[in-house]
């Protein structure tokens, strides 16, 4: 064999046998995959959900986050946080985003209740709960565990907003159920979402007639408790202003709470910026609307 060809063959053999740079040699972990490629599908989906959740206040962000949360609930057994965020975002959409006259608001409330019941069926207690509707949730409310207080809280708030659409006969029983579920939230965790159970009970007890459990003195105690626990949460200040100082015609304290709400920073508490901004804007509107003052 000619020496030139032999040399070429030797060189080729050496090149083939030599360990060349692996596909992952330029990766920090040497796996040949990017960090994103190395994640499991569920982990990648979780990271995408976190990003969309963080961007929910951006233009179109709420709709994108809702769609992703809905997909997560439909496509696989979603964890508790996904269910909790879904009902929380549905409540925020109906309460702060959709116009009051929009029929989509009631649709949002009803979808929230259905999603919440599904979440409680999976995560309401260890091993789940045999619940198919809000009546089942009420019947088994004492079995709901503290870890599921968020799903229960937002589901209850959405349910309360569906009650005006009931017949007069059903409204009374619906209001009593709403009250029982709020009391269960309070017993599970009075601090949830910056005193949410206290805040919502204050709203209910002030607005409900006596025959349905209304009690202004008790409403004031719950409003005070919410402010005492989380004084920089703007919605707590709004709650006390409208449920305590406004009916008492205490103009000075009414304005003090509204001004405190307006001065509260958006990032006063973690993961609450959208709700805090909305409450601060409401305080600004009330302060500049003389007709709303005591």
| All structural domains of the chain with their residue ranges | 44-189
pLDDT of residue 45: 66
Decide if pLDDT at 244 tops 60: yes
Cα separation of 155 and 172, whole Å? 19
- Cα-to-chain-centroid distance, residue 157: 11
Cα separation of 150 and 196, whole Å? 10
Of the candidates 173, 186, 171, 178, the one whose C-alpha atom is nearest the C-alpha of residue 156 is: 178
Decide if pLDDT at 26 tops 90: no
Decide if pLDDT at 236 tops 80: yes
Decide if pLDDT at 16 tops 90: no
pLDDT of residue 289: 86
Cα separation of 98 and 125, whole Å? 33
Of the candidates 52, 77, 55, the one whose C-alpha atom is nearest the C-alpha of residue 67 is: 52
Cα separation of 212 and 235, whole Å? 24
The secondary structure of residue 269, as a DSSP letter, is S
pLDDT digits (tens, 9 = 90+) for 245-265: 999 999 999 999 999 999 999
Cα separation of 88 and 151, whole Å? 8
Per mean pLDDT, which range of 143-152, 230-239, 283-292 is the poorest? 283-292
pLDDT of residue 68: 96
Q: Do 93 and 66 contact (CB within 8 A), yes or no?
A: yes
Kindly list the distances between the CA atom of residue 117 and the CA atoms of 56, 92, 172, 290, 292, in Å, as whole numbers in the listed order. 23, 18, 21, 42, 37
Decide if pLDDT at 4 tops 90: no
Cα separation of 58 and 72, whole Å? 21
Cα separation of 24 and 33, whole Å? 7
In terms of Cβ atoms closer than 10 Å to its own Cβ (0-12, 13-18, 19+), residue 187 is middle
Crossing angle of helices 80-92 and 61-75, in 10° steps, is: 140
Cα separation of 78 and 123, whole Å? 10
**Secondary structure of 55-90 as H, E, C letters:** CCCCCCHHHHHHHHHHHHHHHCCCCHHHHHHHHHHH
The secondary structure of residue 293, as a DSSP letter, is -
CB within 8 Å of 147: residues ≥ 6 apart: 80, 123
């Amino acid at each position: 064999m000619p020496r030139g060809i032999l040399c070429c063959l030797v060189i080729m053999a050496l090149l083939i046998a030599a360990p060349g740079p692996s596909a992952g040699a330029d990766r920090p972990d040497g796996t040949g995959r990017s960090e994103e490629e190395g994640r499991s599908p569920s982990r990648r989906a979780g990271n995408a959900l976190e990003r969309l959740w963080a961007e929910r206040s951006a233009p179109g962000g709420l709709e994108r986050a809702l769609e992703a949360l809905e997909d997560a609930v439909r496509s696989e057994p979603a964890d508790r946080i996904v269910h909790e965020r879904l009902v929380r975002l549905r409540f925020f959409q109906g309460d702060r985003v959709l116009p009051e006259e929009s029929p989509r608001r009631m649709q949002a409330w009803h979808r929230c209740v259905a999603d919440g019941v599904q979440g409680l069926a999976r995560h309401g207690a260890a091993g789940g709960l045999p619940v198919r509707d809000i009546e089942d949730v009420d019947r088994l409310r004492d079995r709901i565990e503290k870890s599921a207080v968020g799903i229960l809280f937002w589901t209850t708030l959405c349910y309360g907003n569906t009650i005006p659409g009931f017949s007069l006969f059903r409204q009374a029983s619906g209001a009593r159920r709403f009250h029982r579920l709020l009391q269960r939230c309070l017993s599970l965790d009075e601090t949830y979402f910056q005193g949410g159970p206290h805040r919502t009970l204050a709203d209910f007890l002030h607005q409900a007639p006596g025959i349905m459990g209304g009690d202004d003195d008790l409403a004031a105690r719950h409003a005070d408790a919410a402010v005492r626990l989380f004084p920089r949460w703007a919605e707590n200040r709004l709650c006390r202003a409208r449920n305590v100082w406004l009916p008492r015609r205490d103009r000075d304290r009414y304005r003090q709470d509204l001004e405190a709400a307006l001065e509260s920073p958006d990032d006063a508490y973690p993961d609450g910026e959208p709700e805090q901004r909305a409450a601060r804007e409401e305080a600004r509107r009330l302060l500049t609307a003389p007709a709303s003052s005591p």
